[in-house]
Amino acid sequence: MRVAIAGAGLAGLSCAKYLTDAGHTPIVLESRDVLGGLVAAWKDSDGDWYETGLHAFFGAYPNMLQLLKELGIEDRLQWKEHTLIFNQPDKPGTLSRFDVPDIPSPFNVIASILRNKDMLTWEQKIRFAVGLLPAVVRGQKYVEDMDKYSFLEWLKRQGVDERVTSDVFIAACKALTFINPDEVSATILLTALNRFLQERYGSKIAFLDGSPTERLCSPIVDYITERGGEVRLNAPLKEILLNADGTVKGYLIRGLNGAEDEVLTADVYVSAMSVDPLKVMLPKPWKLMEFFKKLEGLEGVPVINLHLWFDRKLTEIDHLLFSRSPLLSVYADMSNTCREYANPNRSMLELVLAPAKDWIAKSDEEIVAATLAELEKLFPDHFGGDNPATLLKSHVVKTPRSVYKATPGREQYRPAQVTPIANFYLAGSYTMQRYLGSMEGAVLSGKLTAQAISEALPVANSSNLQTLTRPPATNAATA
């Protein structure tokens, strides 16, 4: 069966991969000239890569790890020491570590918290552990119910000290969602904490050994095309064309550089676009339907990714770092962490600037200057003195609308992959799956979409879609 998929981010590619496995023929249409959506990367004229985002993979990403295994490329993940490393703003240039010992969960994470002496007092640790108990004991239902509170509100209700927020959770919220604890839904942090507490290697971090476009997305495309599928770049979906009964008749693809528009027809259609372009693209009759109206409750959050190349080595640390800076979120010296970007003599810092709403409209020069000022606190030895490190070049990648903004109350707006339209499905990390707006969430959503299509229309008897009936779509997490 032919399945047309709009969007070659991880959700669209994962959906196509699993459809191929089920014997279907996916045709993926990507509007841009690059694969990967939010993991897209480009090579500059010097041959250096720069990326949409600094991407960390976690041990608690079962679907991503499974996908890499199925593609035979799991060795491309470079696993780092099992630890979380934070900068200490009040002691510039120093770091505080949560080293996770190799013992069963949740004792490994608990031991890492108890052993950290810099960031939390004993009283704070005990209060936080007691506050977290309901999430551990009462499970996922409790975690989902907490979507009505911001994480800051939740911490206060649990009687947890404000200092825990400023010391640990501002950094964690910014890293996971690009917003601060007073804005982010408690469900997000509790979900991540639960995963880390339940899985022995859940909080272990890996970096890809090169650019995500080349090292992750290209092998998925090869897999799809070797099995008869297709992935077309520069093929923007312009309009979803409807039959009289409201089902999809075809995808109208915008012709670029003076070419004619083209209609692509298929048996089934998938949107793997992010939620913002999908909302714009919805056909008028669908906009009146409750299922699609709810998408109005979701929108992408702005974020900025910076790359700074220096004339010297600033650090030997081969890991993700939580900056705990008001301007920045996480960062890494990619000349240490990523094999393809390795350089023994010069650092390339990749840094995430978040929250970015006040910065997204500023010039690259302003953004780089403000970031360099922050680096004086992170690397005082290299920036404060007489012989400061020299910035050789920089790239700034702005994403005005990235993953859905995970503020309180958003969970109810996240749609199921199955829609009320018989031949139309959704994939994307914003759709309902339990891994939130992440690479794991994108891969899982694509897999769920492929499963739903295969269940509705097994290849052996790919019957006429017009006869398909479907129960009303639910909003319940399906995995």
Give me the residues that bind ligand FAD (CB under 6 A), please: 6-12, 29-32, 37-39, 52-56, 236-237, 272-274, 277, 303, 305, 352, 399, 402-403, 428-429, 437-442
| Cβ closest to ligand FAD, residue 52 vs residue 419 | 52
The backbone region for 81, taken as left when phi is positive above 0, alpha when psi lies in -120 to 50, beta otherwise, is beta
Residue 303 · residue 353 · CB < 8 Å? yes
Burial label, 288 (beta-carbon count in 10 A; 0-12, 13-18, 19+) = exposed
Spatial distance between the Cα atoms of 5 and 105, rounded to a whole number of angstroms? 39
- Minimum CB separation from ligand FAD for residue 351, in Å? 10
| Cβ closest to ligand FAD, residue 321 vs residue 403 | 403
- Minimum CB separation from ligand FAD for residue 182, in Å? 21
Spatial distance between the Cα atoms of 16 and 5, rounded to a whole number of angstroms? 8
Spatial distance between the Cα atoms of 466 and 204, rounded to a whole number of angstroms? 47
- Minimum CB separation from ligand FAD for residue 107, in Å? 26
- Minimum CB separation from ligand FAD for residue 344, in Å? 25
Strand residues in 45-132 grouped as ranges (E): 49-51, 57-58, 77-79, 83-87, 95-99
- Minimum CB separation from ligand FAD for residue 103, in Å? 26
| Cβ closest to ligand FAD, residue 116 vs residue 329 | 329
Residue 81 · residue 319 · CB < 8 Å? yes
| Cβ closest to ligand FAD, residue 231 vs residue 389 | 231
- Minimum CB separation from ligand FAD for residue 302, in Å? 9
Nearest to 262 by CA among 2, 12, 15, 29: 29
Name the one residue in this structure whose structure tokens are 């939130």.
436
| Cβ closest to ligand FAD, residue 6 vs residue 160 | 6
Name the one residue in this structure whose structure tokens are 């890492």.
112
Residue 348 · residue 112 · CB < 8 Å? no
- Minimum CB separation from ligand FAD for residue 205, in Å? 9
> In one letter, which amino acid is 232?
R
| Cβ closest to ligand FAD, residue 19 vs residue 272 | 272
| Cβ closest to ligand FAD, residue 119 vs residue 328 | 328
Spatial distance between the Cα atoms of 32 and 39, rounded to a whole number of angstroms? 13
Spatial distance between the Cα atoms of 462 and 165, rounded to a whole number of angstroms? 53
- Minimum CB separation from ligand FAD for residue 24, in Å? 19
Taking the mean position of all CA atoms in its chain, how far away is CA 376?
Answer: 29
| Cβ closest to ligand FAD, residue 168 vs residue 240 | 240
Compute CA distances 308 → 270, 320, 443, whole Å.
Answer: 38, 16, 30
| Cβ closest to ligand FAD, residue 67 vs residue 439 | 439
| Cβ closest to ligand FAD, residue 124 vs residue 325 | 325
- Minimum CB separation from ligand FAD for residue 15, in Å? 9
- Minimum CB separation from ligand FAD for residue 127, in Å? 29
Spatial distance between the Cα atoms of 394 and 361, rounded to a whole number of angstroms? 18
Q: How many C-beta atoms surround the C-beta of residue 135 within 10 A?
A: 22
| Cβ closest to ligand FAD, residue 155 vs residue 235 | 235
Name the one residue in this structure whose structure tokens are 């309901």.
134
- Minimum CB separation from ligand FAD for residue 67, in Å? 13
Q: Which residues of 191-221 are buried (b: 16+ CB within 10 A; e: fewer)?
A: bbbbbbbebbbbbbbbbbbbbbbbbbbbbbb
Q: How many residues can be counted in the chain?
A: 479
